[in-house]
Amino acid sequence: MSLIRIRKRSLTIETTYHEGGPLADKPLKLAAACAVIENPYANRYEPDLIPFMKELRSLGTVLAQELVDTLGKDNIEVYSKAAIVGVNGELEHGAVWHEAGGWAMRALLDEPKAMVPAGKAVGACGFRLMVPLHYIHASYVRSHFNTMEIGIQDAPRPNEILFALLMGTGARVHSRLGGLSKDQVSVHDGQR
pLDDT in tens, 55-85: 999 999 999 999 999 999 999 999 999 999 9
Domain range 6-184, its CATH number among 3.90.1310.10, 3.30.1330.110, 3.40.50.1100, 3.40.50.300: 3.30.1330.110
CA dist., res. 164 & res. 62, Å (int): 11
CA dist., res. 30 & res. 76, Å (int): 9
Cα Dmax for the chain: 54
pTM for this prediction: 0.94
CA dist., res. 15 & res. 84, Å (int): 24
In percent, the amount of the chain with pLDDT more than 70 equals 97
Question: How is residue 100 annotated by DSSP?
Answer: H
Question: How is residue 172 annotated by DSSP?
Answer: P
How confident is the model over 103-129, as pLDDT tens digits?
Answer: 999 999 999 989 999 999 999 999 999
Domains of the chain, residue spans: 6-184
